[in-house]
Amino acid sequence: MKRKTRVLVVDDSAFARKVLREVLSREADIEVVGIARDGLDALEKIAELAPDVVTLDLLMPNLDGVGLLRSIAGRPSPRVVVVSTAEQDGELAVDALQAGAVEIVHKPTSLATARLYELSRELVEKVRTAAIAQLELVDAPDGPPVAVAVERPPVRPRVLLVGASTGGPQALTRLLSALPADLPVPVALVLHMPIGYTAALAARLNGVSPLEVVEASEGMVLRPGLAVLARAGFHMKLVRDGDREVVHLDVAPIEAQHRPAVDELFLSAAKTYGAAALGVVLTGMGEDGLQGARALAAAGAWVFTESMSSCVVYGMPRAVAEAGLSTRTLPLSAMAPALAALFAPATPDR
């Protein structure tokens, strides 16, 4: 019989602890092994109970959520799902994701109301995803850069498309910080995040990347050196406006599992750029990006996928690779060098 996922609930609100415990305890494959009132209490409970997953509030007395993450970094530790109120702690949530949290759930309100029950389905799904996430990655973030020889595609790409989900904030941080400032194409980024967090993440990525990183807005003109992060709640589509390519934000298709969806970005780019697009699928749960990768491949464009060694969850890249749509599979440490080499000015011997 499969072992249940052991969860520790950490929140300074007694009502929030009650709701989260009730929601998770309804699931046959999840066991809530304890609760903690703040970060210091959580440190003791983690050592005592050895949970698989921690649901973590961020704004707490004594030791906040980010402080807890930093305290357990670098040693065997549970996977962390942040349960956050974007209006109050969006920047803290970004800190938490970059400090090692693998998922984030938007808490409808910080007040003691029944609206907290609205997060039940999302919370359960993300706890399950966190339970299978890799923490000890073979491709370590502090490893040396990996040089990779990359063939050039038949058509020189004019846009770089990147999609990610679970583990995506850390992966995007590593990728964007390693791309060259003179990258000759725009970059379009889709990451599965709740509404209210993408502006803070874009600002944080802008601070570590040689490129200019901004949250997407309607009609934004794409240009070399600009990386555009899709706004949560909207699909980001790349469309032609006269002789230029621009961002179009759209809620349709409304039935998509994720909004923004990697598929919608890739599908629009296949239509607008054809073979002159290059897709990259990074760590993430599920198959978002598979349909779009098919469209890119049919248009003659290349698709790179992240290898299992560096993925927090090897789901999205695996779906593309197993469908035979991946031109190259690379660890994250090799992705930026490979892209830089591919986009570098051609020389006679290439």
Q: What is the DSSP letter of 29?
A: T
d(CA 54, CA 6): 9
Q: Identify the bridge partners of residue 36 per DSSP, sorted by sequence position.
A: 10
3-state secondary structure of 207: helix
| Residue located via tokens 């002789």 | 243
Asked about 13 being catalytic, the answer comes back as no
* Of 190, 32, 10, 21, residue with least CA distance to 84: 10
Looking only at the bridges linking them, the beta strands covering 244-250 and 235-241 are antiparallel
Residue 139 backbone dihedrals phi, psi, to 5 degrees: -90, 85
d(CA 110, CA 146): 44
Asked about 241 being catalytic, the answer comes back as no
Q: Identify the bridge partners of residue 221 per DSSP, sorted by sequence position.
A: 246
Task: Take residue 270 and report the two structure tokens written for it.
Answer: 């296949």
3-state secondary structure of 182: coil
Sequence-separated (6 or more) residues with CB below 8 Å from residue 90: 84, 196, 197, 199, 200
Phi-psi region of 245 (alpha: psi -120 to 50; beta: other; left: phi over 0): beta
Q: Which of 13, 84, 165, 268 is catalytic?
A: 165
Residue 83 backbone dihedrals phi, psi, to 5 degrees: -115, 105
Q: Which of 12, 89, 95, 192 is catalytic?
A: 192
* Of 206, 228, 234, 204, residue with least CA distance to 215: 228
d(CA 57, CA 300): 46
Asked about 165 being catalytic, the answer comes back as yes
Q: Which of 288, 307, 310, 333 is catalytic?
A: 288
- The catalytic residues are 165, 192, 288
